Chain A
Amino acid sequence: MSGDGTTTKVYALHGAVIAVLVALNFVLPEYHHGVLARVLVLAVFAMGYNLLFGYVGLLSLGHAMFFSAGLYGAGLPLYHLGWGVVPAFAGGIGAGFTVSLFIGLLALRTSGVAFMIVTMMFAQVFYLTTLYFGEWTRGDEGLVLQQHTRRIALGSETLDLTNPATRYLMAVALFAATLFATLAIVRSRHGRVLVAIRENEERTKMLGYDTFANKLAAVVTSGVICAAAGAAYALLFGYVGSTFASVQYSILPLLWVLLGGAATTLGPLLGTLFMYYVVDITSGYTSAYMLVVGAMLILLVLWFRKGVLGTVRERWLRWLP
């Protein structure tokens, strides 16, 4: 990945994607406007997952824990302690950082299937904890964050996160920030070492890299991105529930990333968008919509073994990051 031409193409493509997303704010019908805002926040979650799974090759089944650490880290203090939106968002990120650092230090002592199981076990503990402290979290039922608590005072102006346009643009802003941060990471020296670890960890160690420290940094970065998505979800959509801590939300980002293309920066958006709409449309016709989703996934995996953008990169656009 070198050369000025390639760098220009990469940034032009990513800039164009953001420009299209901003433009859609003005043309999308109300329903799709809301759906896309939700998809963008979930795509940030998928991007966090992709950093660890796609670029480092660590398959985690515990990322619902990081997403919900952000969700509860932002939602609980806002609901119970009357925190403002900005401190609550910072609280969500702080919670994600703490949880991911702790989990990383323990889970990275394992690898492969053991890593997958250990992360899943921790996530289940986290999920059960949210149910156990139902007095504070209201478990499955969850907490609804009141509209008046989701406003940011900016001098004489107020930024109302419940306003559809504001909510959408905030989702785009978070998505854009994460997209360019991810792009910077994967093109950095650290990013190249992560790919080397994925390819051959022992060899990377033999070249003088502390693979544990690099993997820990990746787990924490991934956890913080997922927590940012969780905190944004709570603040933009006003709901904090333990469903988001369940194993289903650890599997979903894996599917989104596999579908869009692991180790591609734009794959998570594509995968999340596609999957969300397939479920949305098919569930309108049949209650067995997951069967349809499953069949479509099988077909996609048969035709696009590396996900949509992974295959596009392999066959046509080698410069795609």
Chain B
Amino acid sequence: MSVTLTIAGLDCFYGEVQVLHGLELELRKGEVLCLLGRNGAGKTTTLKAIMGLVPARAGSITLGTSELTELPAHEVPRAGIAYVPQGRRLFAELTVAENIEIGLMTRNKGKMVRENVLDLFPVLRERLKQRSGTLSGGEQQMLAMARALCLEPEVLLLDEPTEGLMPSMIAKIRETVTGLRERGVSTILVEQRVDAVLSVADRVAFIENGRNRETVDVTQLRDDPEMVRRYVGVG
């Protein structure tokens, strides 16, 4: 399986505090790679570094032949990476349709992409004129994902997409991630719920103190639950 995104020797800081210490990570084409680790381990920072929101002081992030650390933050999505941050962060005053349109405009995507995205989340089709701030948590998560998918990304970054959602919504999110894998989209998923990880991930990277301690196939994790306890403290 070919590699889509490579992170090598990545150092990132918040002010003078170093958060990522020479992080190494590889994302293969069409796989779901899950980042697991305790709070403050550097999972979200890794996603933000990929998006250029936290500058890299050393190391590289390569998408195909593009070096992402040299791009300004607003050009990273145009290179083919979409990010759904923790807490959704919609444009609450805009309607569902307007939120989707903002996503479509970035890469000049047309009506067909819009229809494809709405087919993935039919509930949004019924809410197009509704202000997004008034949607339920699950619907907001779907809209955040829909907006990101309007970019038709090669790589999708999801930061705790199931946080605070009811089980039916969680199932829908999992189903979407699995469907995207079948279309060849590579996903990096930050997730606290081990059951969610086991059900959708292909591989799992354990992040500890800003380093990738170990990357394993999910089958290995199923066989050795102790591994999760060792890095995350739960199992």
Contact = CB atoms under 8 A, between A and B. Distances in A.
A208 B89 contact: no
Interface string B55-79: 0000000000000000011111110
B94 A207 contact: no
Interface in B70-103: 72-78, 83, 85, 89-95, 97-98, 101-103
Residue among B75, B76, B91 with most chain A CB within 10 A = B91
B107 interface: yes
Contact of A192 (B78, B92, B98): B98
A1 B98 CA distance: 8
Interface in A196-250: 196, 198-200, 202-211
A2 interface: yes
Contacts of A205: 53, 73-74
Interface string B85-127: 1000111111101100111011100000000000000000000
B147 interface: yes
A320 interface: no
Interface residues of B, number: 28
Contact of B94 (A189, A195, A208, A211): A195
Contacts of A193: 102, 105
B20 interface: no
A2 B90 CA distance: 19
B33 interface: no
A210 B77 CA distance: 11
Contacts of B78: 208
A196 B75 CA distance: 17
A195 B106 contact: no
Contact of B91 (A195, A210, A211): A195
Given A189-B105, A196-B102, A211 B93 contact: no
B85 A206 contact: yes
Given A1-B98, A196-B102, A199-B92, A207 B77 contact: yes
Nearest to B75: A208
A180 to B, nearest CB: 21
Interface residues of A, number: 20
A238 B107 CA distance: 50
Contact of A199 (B91, B95, B106): B91
Contacts of B94: 192, 195-196, 199
Interface in A157-207: 189, 192-193, 195-196, 198-200, 202-207
A195 B93 contact: yes
B34 interface: no
B185 interface: no
Interface string B33-68: 000000000000000000101000000000000000
A210 B78 CA distance: 11
Contacts of B95: 1
Nearest to B84: A206
B151 interface: yes
Nearest to B128: A2
Interface string A1-12: 110000000000
Residue among B74, B77, B106 with most chain A CB within 10 A = B74
A209 B89 contact: no
Contacts of A206: 51, 53, 73, 77, 83, 85
